[in-house]
Amino acid sequence: MEPQVELSPALVDNYVALLLSPYGRNVAIVDPAEAEPVIRHLRERYLQPVAIFNTHHHPDHTGGNRELQKAYDLPVYGAAEDRDRIPGLTHPMYEGDRVTPAGLDREGVVWDIPGHTHTHIAFVFPEDGLLFAGDTLFVAGCGRLFEGTAAQMEASLSRLASLPDSTRVYCGHEYTLKNLRFARAVEPENEAVREKLAWAEGVRARGEPTLPSTIGEEKRTNPFLRVRKPEVQAAALRRGASGADPAAVFAAIRAWRDRF
Ligand SMILES: [Zn+2]
């Protein structure tokens, strides 16, 4: 299969994903943290950008919007409610809206997945088996709760987990090693976590990205997708969870991760 996505590292630990058109050199730019490394990547690979997708408004996901728009005259897709927070937004999106920029020849759909921010969205490409999860779902982790509640974030992650296991997951940051070390602390007996940590240590030692993951792998290794598992519930209760329901378990695990 032809590669569908290229990654352009930016800032300290951000990834800008470039989603390629099936047979051409056109790309959609997902969450441009900054413009300069993206423009360099586009030129080196002879890629033509046709759109910007923003999962949420944080500057390390939108910082390159203006400069890229100036250089390439690009439409910007983001949550309608973020119209005052996303620079250059041209295509305000709502839950369920189709994402079909001219020249990309792929069809995405917008999912509302609040929690990290109130207005965080995912770009889901069902036919291609691709998910752009921004700062909601990380490899073996999830984003901090800046604007939403634990219940909202848990519901958003559960929704993402309902995608087919083979769905490839792209996210906004390289936090994998720390996330897997935390996952091991939550579930010391989880063999899949130990195996993935050993793999990730090798990958990072070579300076390579640990992305993409898959929904199937995340269901086996990500404590935030495993809040219904007895082992994770027990660990959360030992850390002061107010109950064993998914939101309470999630809240306790998230608070623990914040201090980890
Ligand atoms: Zn963010």
How many A from CA of 249 to the centre of ligand 1? 22
Do the beta carbons of residue 200 and residue 207 sit within 8 Å?
A: no
Quote the CA–CA distance of 188 and 190 in Å, as a whole number: 6
Asked if the model's pLDDT at residue 2 lies above 70, the reply is: no
Res 33: pLDDT: 96
Rounded Cα distance between 169 and 185, Å, is: 23
Amino acid (one-letter) located at 166: S
Q: What percent of the chain has pLDDT over 90?
A: 97
**Per-residue pLDDT tens over the stretch 92-141:** 999 999 999 999 999 999 999 999 999 999 999 999 999 999 999 999 99
pLDDT in tens, 9-26: 998 899 999 999 998 899
What average pLDDT does the structure give for the chain? 96
Active-site residues, by number, are: 56, 58, 60-61, 116, 135, 173
- What phi and psi, each to the nearest 5 degrees, are found at residue 59? -60, -30
pTM for the whole thing?
A: 0.96
Cα(23) to centroid(ligand 1), Å:
32
> Are residues 171 and 133 in contact, defined by beta-carbon separation less than 8 angstroms?
yes
